[in-house]
Amino acid sequence: MSAGRTCPLHYRYQPEIFRSKATLHAETLYVIGGLYGNPDALETILNMKAEEERRGQTVTLLFNGDFNWFNRDAESFEQINRSVLQHFALQGNVEAELSQSLEKVSPTEINKTEINKTETNSTETNIIETNSTGPVPQSSASNPDAGCGCNYPSYVSQGVVDRSNTIAQELEKQARAFPDIVEGLKALPRTMTVEIGTQRIGVLHGDPESMAGWKFSVEAMEPPDRDLRTSLGWSKDEENTTESQVWDYFQRANVTAFACTHTCLPFAQDFRPSVDFSQHESANQLRDFPNPKQFEDRRIVINNGSAGMANFQGTTFGLLTRISVHPKRPEASLYGTSLANLRFDALPIHFDMTRWTNRFLNNWPEGSPAHTSYFGRIQNGPNFWVEQARRWQPVPA
């Protein structure tokens, strides 16, 4: 496996990690994944929080990773990180790699290190955490093969992977100028169990087994979105995420919901213990379940896609996941549901596009790796529609 396609051992954990006591309690929680170094989106999110609080509600922000990416300039790098670190935050793969940036050494030095380790019969290993929400355990040796740490699946082109590795290297150069920020990133946990009302919510970056896992990507979920899989180049060799696997995750984690990000396309899907999804050909057929009992004990996986970048065709806004004890549907909600006495919604983040475009182009002009990979999406959105993100059955009257 090459850099950018690997899942480092220290990224991994087990779903039982969420069984521990909740470390955060919230009335209304914004789960903000994939800010991708967009200060204008951050400004809008802070305004959204202030607007809700003017109406008498308390809003807690939890950035669930990859809040860095396009912010290669010193001002944006410092501004994004100092602001995010004032709130609750988790590492994404980008922060996990940045947190090692001070320890990364040149390939020549790595070779010397490996030789010395062999000579001294070192037995150093990484650690897999199973029951803690603490910071990522670090190997004292650097991990030169992780690249951007994205763990890209095989249907993502090698060009995208190579460009992401270059972006990560550029960001690491900037990070080395801010060692206190790097230390702050290193101290962040990878997962968090949040109590909202009486419910426990598992907040993570990738999936319940890895910080950079893709099991909670919309393209992996069953029932399959065949149009999406075709457009992405999904092959039959890829692993589906079955309903029974997700239900097993819920049981082992003892949570009502998983709120995630990382895979860059948003969706929300509910799950019921009595439903056999293998009998259904497409997501659309989910909308025709006749038995109200199947709506009892629903649980949900909700992925916000990207807070700092467009998520739907023909749009430019970011998305965050709002989870609240207050039952009222927010006016701005693109899609949402009431479940277990909580309200779950996808809220748009309408940031200043002119300012963001100028800022992006200053850092990543035409011909640069980030421009090649992302500028089209930033301006026009991906080939994905909001209807594809709503993967649940309306609750019957």
| Interacting residue ranges for Fe ion, rule: CB under 5 A | 66, 92-93, 262
Q: Where are the alpha helices (DSSP H) in the chain?
A: 39-54, 74-84, 93-98, 107-119, 158-175, 179-186, 226-232, 243-253, 353-363, 369-380, 386-389
Least distance from Fe ion to the Cβ atom of residue 334, Å: 22
Taking the complex as a whole, the smallest distance from the CB of residue 275 to Fe ion amounts, in Å, to 29
Q: Closest residue to Fe ion, Cβ-based?
A: 262
CB closer to Fe ion, 92 vs 189: 92
Measured CA to CA, the distance from residue 264 to residue 244 in angstroms comes to: 24
The least distance separating Fe ion from the CB of residue 66, rounded to whole angstroms, comes to 4
User: Which residues sit opposite 259 in a β-bridge?
Assistant: 203, 302
State the sign of the Cα–Cα–Cα–Cα dihedral 87, 89, 94, 97: positive
Q: Which is nearer to Fe ion, 152 or 271 (CB)?
A: 152
Closest C-alpha to 257, from 197, 177, 334:
197
Angle, CA 55 vertex, CA 51 and CA 61 arms, to 5°: 50
Counting every residue written for the chain, the total comes to 397
CB closer to Fe ion out of 71 and 93: 93
DSSP letter, residue 222: S
Please report how close the Cβ of residue 163 comes to Fe ion at its closest, in angstroms: 15
Q: Which is nearer to Fe ion, 302 or 339 (CB)?
A: 302
- Phi then psi for residue 331, to 5 deg, are -60, -35
Closest to Fe ion by CB, 39 or 149: 149
- List Cβ<8 Å contacts ≥24 apart for 117-121: 117/141
Closest distance of CB 205 from Fe ion, Å: 6
Q: Based on CB atoms, which residue is closest to Fe ion, 149 or 381? A: 149
Strands 199-203 and 257-260: parallel
User: Tell me, what amino acid is at 151?
Assistant: N
Q: Which is nearer to Fe ion, 205 or 343 (CB)?
A: 205
In the bound state with Fe ion, the residue whose beta carbon lies nearer, of 59 and 302, is 302
Angle, alpha carbons 310-3-377 (nearest 5°): 15
At closest approach, how far in Å is the CB of 251 from Fe ion?
Answer: 26
Give whichever of 214 and 364 is closer to Fe ion, judged by the CB atom.
214
Q: What is the DSSP track for 1-48?
A: --TTT---GGGBB-GGGGGSPPSEEESEEEEE---TT-HHHHHHHHHH
Q: Say if strands 342-349 and 335-339 run parallel, antiparallel, or are unpaired.
A: antiparallel
- Within its chain, how far is the Cα of 377 from the centroid? 18
In angstroms, give the least distance from the CB of 65 to Fe ion. Answer: 6
Instruction: Extract the tokens encoding 154.
Output: 């095989």
DSSP for residue 263: S
What's the closest the beta carbon of residue 154 comes to Fe ion, in angstroms?
17
CB of 271 to Fe ion, least distance (A): 23
Give 92 or 208: the residue with its C-beta nearer to Fe ion.
92
The closest of 95, 103, 89, 80 to 186, measured between CA atoms, is 95
Q: Least CB distance from residue 262 to Fe ion, whole Å?
A: 4
